[in-house]
Amino acid sequence: MPATTDFSTAYCTKHKIIMEDISSKDIDELKKYLGSLGEKPFRANQIYKWLHQSLATDFSQMTDLSKALREKLSNEAYITVPEPVDIQISREDGTRKYLFRLPDDSLVESVLMKYRFGWSVCISSQVGCRMGCAFCASGMDGLLRGLTPGEMLGQIEAIQRDVFSDTTDCAKKHEEHTTDCAEKHEGHTTDCAQEHGNRTDPKAPSVPKPDSEEYLRNRISHVVVMGTGEPLDNYDNLLIFIRMLTDENGLHISQRNLTVSTCGIVPRIKELAEKKLEITLALSLHAPTQEKRRELMPVANKYDISEAVGAMKYYQDTTGRRVTFEYSLIKGVNDTDEDAEQLSSLLWRGAHINLIPVNPVKERTFAAPTRAAAIDFQRKLEKFGINATIRREMGQDIDGACGQLRRRHLER
């Protein structure tokens, strides 16, 4: 089903008609669409819950709708159900890396991580990326397009189905799927997916009833838009995605549990600040000076580092939400004593910076510093009054860096 230019609809070759992207419609848009079909507004709430709470993958599953309406929707609209092409599971920590195929055959990556507080998912916002950061695999093939709200949500919902499927299908068989199954398949679950069946099979989605103890215990609680793409380069769809993600009739994930990462598109940061959302905004900083940032991140040629940091301060002051600075530690590039001092001068006292030992990318020569060197850098920042944390390294034994898994498949 090749998609049209704006991807809000798609052309169905079977029926030779334009089909509506129902997965990207918020409640208000869904009411308008159903009104055009002669349906009452309450149907929108029913369908929205089926899509984003019960995680339906086919209109036939919506059993409280009339057969006539289900058939009409099947002929005129489509549900975005990302297809798992590859799933890798880390033998070290159970982190899962997903490669999804979208309706137009585009490929995107997502990551599932387990923390003490629960499940967290990192999703992509674009197919490819045009930011061209030197240490990242995502932008090596450029930008194809932005993702629709439904495609962003679809990554979370597909992974949520997978988590629910594990608790019902795999937990009994393997006792703990993320370790035993990973060991069995050496960190890759292509075979495992075949063994346990297609988890996006419309006839058998393993989803417990919403509000049930099992549903609440295993639901994804945190989302990070930090995968492939620049979210603020897909601004309008990002806002719709946020509205739908946090809707009480859907996944109902708190805005405070959502982090959006940007490389620093200054006008959009300020525009987002005016929305006064409760999301956490993170700036991919990665350098202490304009000169070094320009070498690593082409976006610095348009927006000076001081502009980007100033926009983040504006966001924090306007929304009351603490911002975060992401800093990939690259051995011999941005991890010296001088870098720590310059970084401290750039930020304000009490600012929070997340240090990320860079993930190795085979096409690049960058390497992460040792753990001891990272801790030493952290302590230097803290000495200057900067709150610094070192991100827990996850998925190191799989294609953990953004864009790696997708690029490997494209090269086949």
Tokens of 53: 């709470």
Residue with tokens 């010296």: 336
Q: Is residue 78 within 8 Å of residue 19, measured between CB atoms?
A: yes
**Is 402 one of the annotated active-site residues of the chain?**
yes
d(CA 174, CA 381): 44
Q: Is residue 204 within 8 Å of residue 161, measured between CB atoms?
A: no
Read off φ and ψ for residue 245, nearest 5 degrees: -60, -35
Percentages (nearest 5) of helix, strand, coil residues in the chain: 40, 20, 40
Q: Residue 260: which of 221, 300, 232, 234 has the closest Cα?
A: 232
* Residue of 20, 39, 109, 230 marked catalytic: 109
Q: Residue 280: which of 244, 247, 253 has the closest Cα?
A: 253
Structure letter (DSSP) for residue 148: P
Pairing relation of β-strands 387-390 and 107-115?
Answer: unpaired
Strand partners, 341: none
Q: Is residue 170 within 8 Å of residue 153, measured between CB atoms?
A: no
Q: Residue 112: which of 395, 401, 409 has the closest Cα?
A: 395
Catalytic residues: 109, 402
